[in-house]
Amino acid sequence: MRLGQTQLLAALCLSILVENQSVVSAFSTSKKLSELQQHRIGVHRQNVAFVHSVRPSLPSLVILSAAPATATAGGFIETELRGAAMKLHTKQQAPKEGQVEVKKPAKPYTPTRDDYLAFLVDSKHVYEALEDIVNENEALEMFRNTGLERTEALETDIEFMVKEYGLSRPEVGEFGKTYATQLREIAADGSIPELMCHYYNFYFAHTAGGRMIGKQMSALLLEKKTLEFYKWDGDLNEIKGRVKESIEAMAATWSQEEKDACVAGTADAFRGGGMINAYLSGGASPH
């Protein structure tokens, strides 16, 4: 029997957040910042082997897209960074590369407009952190005004939802605060390779499977309106291609240890993104 729209959306959202709430709760309001910092330092010190041996209970981001023709074949992104990310997807999301097993949910969860608004608010907070870091760090100048920036678009969408549907704008939740703080700490520590892992995974996941989620949310909650969050000025593939070339150019200057530190941050990046996605799949809301 063919699934209805609501059931299809629920299945989609639940495939994004692997059904193991212990991961999300580990970063909930009870998680002290000092514990988060200790966790991040531990991940940073491990080499690339960490990614290949990670437990199959991590919340996954949406599928990363294949590289456009402008990306360097056999470069750092395709051979190491994207490869590590794909292994943390499920077989359902990435049949050829996914390695994470997904537990069947007890029952489907249908997101509400309030859930979606909370997701957008926390997403904006994380994107603001990334954009601030890029604008304040001269070593990241090549990643300024790339066209991938999402903060202004998200603010427009948040204001639209509040006005159109009579919703109350929530404060940034603990999920968004925690991940944004983590990113700022990484930048303060000067770990550019580790930061670029988060940058790549957070931005590029949204340009791929994130758009699929947006389309489903639009149909279910917004009378098929496409939010600005899912629109880019210019050809998206060209924008992504230019950014990937910049990442490749930067990675070419790194030592193997720095490359390993970048790749080892993949699981941590998935946790951060997974916390935000929890709003859409019935995860505990900190609001």
> Please, are residues 274 and 58 in contact by the beta-carbon 8 Å criterion?
yes
pLDDT at 157: 99
The pLDDT of residue 284 is above 60: no
- Fill in the DSSP letter of residue 100: B
The C-alpha angle 41, 45, 46, rounded to 5 degrees, equals 120
Over residues 39-82, the pLDDT tens digits come to: 444 433 333 332 232 223 333 344 344 444 344 556 877 776 76
Report d(CA 109, CA 241) in Å as an integer: 36
Give CA separation, 26 vs 130, 152, 285, in Å: 23, 30, 13
> Please, are residues 121 and 278 in contact by the beta-carbon 8 Å criterion?
no
User: Largest Cα–Cα distance in the chain?
Assistant: 56
Burial (Cβ within 10 Å: 0-12, 13-18, ≥19) of residue 110: middle
pLDDT at 86: 63
Over residues 167-187, the pLDDT tens digits come to: 999 999 999 999 999 999 999
Report d(CA 192, CA 140) in Å as an integer: 8
Q: Categorize the per-residue pLDDT at 83 as very low, low, confident or very high, splitting at 50, 70 and 90.
A: low
pLDDT at 148: 98
pLDDT at 282: 81
| pTM of the shown model | 0.72
> Please, are residues 113 and 14 in contact by the beta-carbon 8 Å criterion?
no
* Helix 209-221 vs helix 192-207: crossing angle, to nearest 10: 50
Q: Categorize the per-residue pLDDT at 103 as very low, low, confident or very high, splitting at 50, 70 and 90.
A: low
Average pLDDT over residues 96-110: 65
* Mean model confidence pLDDT for the chain: 77
The pLDDT of residue 216 is above 50: yes
Q: Categorize the per-residue pLDDT at 100 as very low, low, confident or very high, splitting at 50, 70 and 90.
A: low
Q: Which domains does the chain have, with CATH numbers?
A: 5-98+114-280 (1.20.910.10)
Beta bridge partners of 100: 90
pLDDT at 272: 94
The pLDDT of residue 12 is above 50: no
Q: What are phi and psi of 90, to 5 degrees?
A: -85, 165
**What are the contacts of 248-257 at 24+ separation with CB within 8 A?**
248/71, 248/72, 248/75, 248/76, 248/77, 249/142, 250/142, 250/192, 250/196, 251/75, 251/76, 251/77, 251/193, 251/196, 252/76, 254/193
Average pLDDT over residues 6-35: 39
Over residues 226-268, the pLDDT tens digits come to: 999 999 999 999 999 999 999 999 999 999 999 999 999 999 9
